Amino acid sequence: MAEEKLPRRSEDFSAWYNEIVSRAELAEHSPVRGSMVIRPNGYGIWELMQQALDKMFKDTGHQNAYFPMLIPLSFITKEAKHVEGFAPELAVVTQGGGKELEEPLVLRPTSETIIYHMYAKWVQSYRDLPILMNQWANVVRWEMRTRLFLRTMEFLWQEGHTAHETEAEAEAETLQMLGVYRTFMYDHMAMPVICGPKSDSERFAGALRTYAVEGLMQDNKALQAGTSHNLGQNFAKVFDLQFQSREGTLEYAWNTSWGVSTRMVGGLIMTHSDDDGLVTPPKLAPVQVVIVPIFKTDVEQAVVMGAADAVFRELKAAGVRVKLDSRDSMSPGAKYYDHELKGVPLRMEIGPKDVEKNTVVIVPRVELSKEEAAKPGRKQKLFVPREGLSERVRQLLDALQSQLFDNALARREANSVRGTTSYDEMKALIERDAGFIYAGWCGSAECETKVKEETKATIRVIPFEEFRSAVQPTHCIVCGGEARHEAVWAKSY
Amino acid sequence: MAEEKLPRRSEDFSAWYNEIVSRAELAEHSPVRGSMVIRPNGYGIWELMQQALDKMFKDTGHQNAYFPMLIPLSFITKEAKHVEGFAPELAVVTQGGGKELEEPLVLRPTSETIIYHMYAKWVQSYRDLPILMNQWANVVRWEMRTRLFLRTMEFLWQEGHTAHETEAEAEAETLQMLGVYRTFMYDHMAMPVICGPKSDSERFAGALRTYAVEGLMQDNKALQAGTSHNLGQNFAKVFDLQFQSREGTLEYAWNTSWGVSTRMVGGLIMTHSDDDGLVTPPKLAPVQVVIVPIFKTDVEQAVVMGAADAVFRELKAAGVRVKLDSRDSMSPGAKYYDHELKGVPLRMEIGPKDVEKNTVVIVPRVELSKEEAAKPGRKQKLFVPREGLSERVRQLLDALQSQLFDNALARREANSVRGTTSYDEMKALIERDAGFIYAGWCGSAECETKVKEETKATIRVIPFEEFRSAVQPTHCIVCGGEARHEAVWAKSY
């Protein structure tokens, strides 16, 4: 534990991120450039994300399925926009079983093509619609500049794919699933994303409309954390996904697709963690409470371990993900350091005096504003009676979950700039990484491109009503023409 | 529903299997030869398998992780036996991002090489051991002769990989995980597998010892349903997986690996299903109970649907996976046919008279020997009072789970031949697909090869004590020499 301190976020955000991922044993580079090994601490977060999302998908009527990873190259090239978007990122299998393949196969960068090819076989009439499927899978996109979790050559994700009778139904599904992502990110990730459509230039390759949820990271860069696409009839037309309508006519189906990935783990890290290490929202923490027993003598050890074990069993029975850290080669202080680094939400200290007084000490990973404040320069310490402990732990976990959301929301708002009308001011704001810049946009690709070229910032979303500024801009911040939308600009991952 | 009847198992087992997979909508061929689309009905079974196994893995101290799918070709070639076993089955990526790769990458056929390469970085001392990890992943083996679920180019599986201080620990882990598979197959799949080591020739490429669980299918062919390998120090030596021992010396770690795959879904089908379609053990049935409402008039419909909906909600609240089939375009008879085909364990019929009498009719998918027998030529019908219904449903699901196991065990035993001492008789038995042939074996590769060449049967396992015959053979059935083992021979998938 004699490791150096983490780099500070304020000094080198990127080095800080990399060190957290490495020292908290979340993930590591694999020998194949750009691909990642997700270690148990990182995978545990992903598993909890999966469980929560999977339940939400099923509650909204979706079923899981699995489609093959290998797709004929000719499938990808069928949809013009799609191939344009994905061709540069393809990994191609040219040999199998010791022979050259007649047709190369690509590793799925996303599965629209193979899935709508199959749907076309399954759908004859409107009675076969809607199809509401999801798959949990790995995908491969040949990325040159990779970062663990945020951008890797292979990543894990889910991709929902649906087929509907009408455009209205497809649009409702697209928005419903964006809403599911938003709810998940608010309630589980404690990440107050903003939501809305993307501009045309940021649309998914082959979609009619793309909607996104965007988080603001602590370095004031945006992270696109999930997307939901209304694909229109683009893929249906290419893959002959037709059905006999209620009126007896032959129609193309309307498709949607929507996905989130292991990238969310990166977003979670960059939203909540601090200079002491990882911070994990309790709902997604593989270990929610760690018990650290403190003793010097053998007699103390016997007493303390007995009490610690009883608490462990009580919390476990109450459904808390609890760990008793009984490593004897390590001092309590070294354990504190380790669990802070690894982001355990609540640390519980039990020493001989605690046993005597029938209490425990709980140290929340992040200070809770509704509890007695910490002494200056110290961590917040809560003295909790043994009686009713699991109840209190549940309540503290909930409080921490809310606290993280409140902190993140306050930070996002402190780093959201509204009311700017001068393009020069906007450029200065972007230059100093001011965060989300809300400003008017005429809707033209020219103005959008100009900002991107001059500042590297892009339109993250055109926010839905509830995310818009109270006072709506009237003019485009770039050209001064009439504003068609309020847009949110930021540099992004 | 005017489809033809299924092929009969007795007439064409293979066609029967294919038709069940297709008509029950479990899986389908993809446009890429040898790879498979797992449809929601099939994936639902796999998900329940995963959930049960994942819990068992965690209860035995394992953590999930994820390692990359793409492995440098040079890794595979490091372990001589391993490359010999897997080289002919490799799929190779030679292009990425539009360029030829300097070193080709293979799609993992299994992950020993990449995983032990990473373990070598994580392990310094005995304190870092054991490592107990598992991953759920897709793997690719270039197969020429594929069958849905049983043998496909890409399949889904889990692979456990562990590292230990001593050979004894590794052996204990290997056997523990074989035991987990056995328990899962008995308790969840209702599949009475036999267990034991494989002969040397059937060992995993690179292992010291391979143990397997083998089921007997209804066509009397064996199915290897899971394997657990003691890898010795073979991979540790190749990947420099060394640790400082308690004595201060530098030692190679001892590894194990163990896996089961979507092949189990094929095993489940071939163990239980019948000429009416799929039969699913209740514990692995995505839908355990289907409610079919029966009515003619609008008044009846209102009454019956009200009752059906109340039963639906009650069962759902009781944790039963229940479905209310309210499709109005289909007659009750057509629904019966459909749900039998799809293997729903219990069908519940509710008509106006049932509502009046405050009962429901339950038809188990397979006759329960402890309930009143069916009338000749009819299905077993149980008249169940509405009062206490969820309790009774739970009990019937348990009874059906046990019944399927008992039936499968009785069938396995009826098709296990013991006491044969003549090689000619053995050949005749194999010729007529008699099932598991228990016989003496001298332990020589020559005798094993001879049987394989002359009959196509192989040694499935050398059974553990509890699976051995009461009277142990004294002589090798092939050469007549002294028997070192009792072996179980069969043709296999």
**How does pLDDT run across B205-244, given as a tens digit for each residue?**
889 999 999 999 999 999 999 999 999 999 999 999 999 9
Contact B31 A117 (CB under 8 A): yes
pLDDT, residue B254, reads 98
- List pLDDT tens digits, range A454-481: 999 999 999 999 999 999 999 999 999 9
Contact A65 B30 (CB under 8 A): no
Q: How close A142 gets to chain B, by Cα (Å)?
A: 5
Residue B1: is its pLDDT beyond 50? no
Q: Tell me how far the alpha carbon of residue B304 is from its chain's centroid.
A: 40
Per-residue confidence band for A4, with pLDDT thresholds at 50, 70 and 90: confident
Q: Considering only CB atoms, which chain B residues are within 8 Å of A93?
A: 91-94, 107
Q: Considering only CB atoms, which chain B residues are within 8 Å of A69?
A: 35, 138, 140, 154
pLDDT, residue B86, reads 86
Contact B154 A68 (CB under 8 A): yes
Cα B182 to Cα B158: distance, rounded to the nearest angstrom: 15
| Chain A residue nearest residue B122, CA to CA | A25
- List pLDDT tens digits, range A412-445: 999 999 999 999 999 999 999 999 999 999 999 9
Where does residue B59 rank: exposed (0-12), middle (13-18), buried (19+ CB within 10 A)?
Answer: exposed
Q: Say which of A30, A97, A140 has its CB closest to residue B89.
A: A97
pLDDT, residue B328, reads 87
pLDDT, residue A2, reads 46
Instruction: Map out the domains of chain B with their CATH numbers.
Output: 13-272 (3.30.930.10), 287-396 (3.40.50.800), 416-490 (3.30.110.30)
DSSP string for residues in A407-439: HHHHHHHHTEE-----HHHHHHHHHTT--EEEE
Q: How close A216 gets to chain B, by Cα (Å)?
A: 27
Q: Are B111 and B159 in contact (CB under 8 A)?
A: yes
Give the number of C-alpha atoms closer than 13 A to the C-alpha of residue B52, restricted to the C-beta side. 20
pLDDT, residue B204, reads 87
Cα A381 to Cα A361: distance, rounded to the nearest angstrom: 6
Per-residue confidence band for B247, with pLDDT thresholds at 50, 70 and 90: very high
Q: Tell me how far the alpha carbon of residue B273 is from its chain's centroid.
A: 14
Q: What is the mean pLDDT of residues B292-318?
A: 97
Q: What is the mean pLDDT of residues A18-24?
A: 97
Q: Which amino acid is at A199?
A: S
ipTM: 0.96
Q: How close B374 gets to chain A, by Cα (Å)?
A: 35
Q: How close B36 gets to chain A, by Cα (Å)?
A: 6
Q: Considering only CB atoms, which chain B residues are within 8 Å of A87?
A: 98
Q: Considering only CB atoms, which chain B residues are within 8 Å of A105?
A: 32, 91
What is the dihedral sign for C-alpha A443, A449, A455, A458? Answer: positive
First to last CA, chain A: 32
* Percent of chain B's residues with pLDDT above 70: 99
Contact A97 B144 (CB under 8 A): yes
pLDDT, residue B53, reads 98
pLDDT, residue B218, reads 98
| Chain A residue nearest residue B25, CA to CA | A122
pLDDT, residue B112, reads 94
pLDDT, residue B143, reads 86
pLDDT, residue B77, reads 87
Q: Considering only CB atoms, which chain A residues are within 8 Å of B63?
A: 40, 43-44
Residue A138: is its pLDDT beyond 50? yes
**Rounded mean pLDDT of chain B?**
96
**What is the 8-class DSSP label of residue A465?**
G
CB burial of A409-437 (b: ≥16 within 10 Å; e: otherwise) equals eebbeebbbbebeebebbbebbeeebbbb
Helices (H), B290-357: 298-317, 332-341, 352-357
- List pLDDT tens digits, range A33-64: 899 999 999 999 999 999 999 999 999 999 99
Contact B69 A104 (CB under 8 A): no
Per-residue confidence band for A180, with pLDDT thresholds at 50, 70 and 90: very high
Closest CA to B223 of B235, B209, B212, B210: B212
Q: What is the mean pLDDT of residues B451-475?
A: 97
CB burial of A44-82 (b: ≥16 within 10 Å; e: otherwise) equals bbbbbbeebbbebbeeeebbbbbbbbbbbbebbebbeeb
Q: How close A111 gets to chain B, by Cα (Å)?
A: 12
Residue B2: is its pLDDT beyond 50? no
Residue B414: is its pLDDT beyond 50? yes
**Rounded mean pLDDT of chain A?**
96
pLDDT, residue B205, reads 84
Per-residue confidence band for B3, with pLDDT thresholds at 50, 70 and 90: low
Q: Tell me how far the alpha carbon of residue A366 is from its chain's centroid.
A: 20
Q: Considering only CB atoms, which chain A residues are within 8 Å of B111?
A: none
Q: Which amino acid is at A459?
A: I
- List pLDDT tens digits, range A323-358: 999 998 899 999 999 999 999 999 999 999 999 999
